[in-house]
Amino acid sequence: MKVACLTGGGDCPALNAVIRGLVRTVANNGGETIGLLEGWRGAIEGNFVALNPMETDEILPLGGTILGSSRTNPYKDESLVQKVVDTFHALKLDALVAIGGDDTLGVASKLYSDYNLPTIGCPKTIDNDLSSTDFTFGFDTCLNTVMDAVDKLRTTAESHRRVIVVEVMGRHAGWITCFSGIACSADAILVPEQAADLDAICDLLKRRREQGKKYGIVMVSEGAQLKGQDLVTKDAEIDDFGHVKLGGIGTRVAKIIQDKTGIETRDVTLGHLQRGGSPSAYDRVLGTRLGIHAARLAIKKDFGKMVALRGLHIVSVPLAEAVGTMRTLYPEFMDEAGEFLK
């Protein structure tokens, strides 16, 4: 059996753990694995590397992806889709494992339904916003990165009696913001799912100051909604999948807070720092397990599926069901966080 894998979309910690788990399990069953380079671009252009268990054994602690990644969308142009199909046949592949988020997996799902290409999906994103799986690998490492950063920001915020607004990733879902807000005892958490009332947040920050807390930490998602205001975007540029670049809301929120409260306020955007670094133990284990189970689906010829975490178990779900629906933050998390935001 010859299996190809690729990593698409924004990178994240533990992609290499998935690759290692996949390569080892395929080899244990007498098969071989190749890696298509830079996401779907490698599938279009036929660029690949051979992957073997000895070499991939070393990649577990490495952040990023040894295969490279891109946001290439073959469905932008039907001739590119045909090239993917041609590559599949030219390389005499038996299965293609796509490791990615909603966009990358959406392509894998369409290739399965449109061309009967034997694809398998593995869910990835630091944003934790994929439906059909409880957690995505990379999310835990990202939270720890944000927590380390905010622990450092807290001491300088306190020394200078400032508010610091911390902008984190999360286009449509506030998982990173809410979880890191809880982990860092933030004074306010602004997410895409609920339009934030900045007047109420300013009142709270002033009240806390009167009560003796001389600094404040405000966590804000890049895609957060502010009551009565438009989404803050970086520029008009859109990627292959039609997404605009977000960024800049932290600066806007900091200015409003300073203007309304008179408290000196700064903002920090953590940006791509959140996607980097060596994966946490949790993400290494989750990534490894997903890689093993993706290989097992390939060996069983159980295609058109995505591996997923449900509770403590790795299961498989139809790719078509797993893509297309964004999983936003469950309200119960904001409700629980809310006990500390009053």
Residues 70-89 that bind ligand F6P (CB under 6 A): none
Measured distance CA(111)–CA(127) in Å, rounded: 25
Using alpha carbons, select from 110, 130, 109 the residue that is nearest to residue 12. 130
Size of interface with ligand F6P, in residues (CB under 6 A): 11
Q: Which of 38, 102, 127, 167 binds ligand F6P (CB under 6 A)?
A: 127
Instruction: Determine, following the binding rule CB under 6 A, whether residue 100 of this chain makes contact with ligand F6P.
Output: no
Residues 182-241 that bind ligand F6P (CB under 6 A): 222
Is 56 within 8 Å of 88 (Cβ atoms)?
no
Q: In terms of DSSP bridges, do strands 305-310 and 265-269 run parallel, antiparallel, or are they unpaired?
A: unpaired
Side chain identity, residue 231: L
Residue nearest to ligand F6P (CB): 10
Build a one-symbol-per-residue string for 147-186: x at contacts with ligand F6P by CB under 6 A, - elsewhere.
----------------------xxx---------------
Question: Which residue, 15 or 186, is less far from ligand F6P as judged by CB?
Answer: 15
Q: Which of 26, 36, 126, 205 binds ligand F6P (CB under 6 A)?
A: 126
User: Which residues are identified as catalytic?
Assistant: 127
Is 77 within 8 Å of 36 (Cβ atoms)?
no
Tokens representing residue 147 in the block = 């927590």
Is 111 within 8 Å of 84 (Cβ atoms)?
yes
Instruction: Determine, following the binding rule CB under 6 A, whether residue 10 of this chain makes contact with ligand F6P.
Output: yes
Phi, psi of 341 (to 5 degrees): -115, 25
CB of 69 to ligand F6P, least distance (A): 9
H or E stretch covering 255? helix 249-261
Instruction: Determine, following the binding rule CB under 6 A, whether residue 260 of this chain makes contact with ligand F6P.
Output: no
The window from 47-55, 119-127, 276-284, 308-316 that contacts ligand F6P (CB under 6 A) reads: 119-127
Is 139 within 8 Å of 126 (Cβ atoms)?
yes
> Which stretches of the chain bind ligand F6P, using CB under 6 A?
9-10, 125-127, 169-171, 222, 246, 275
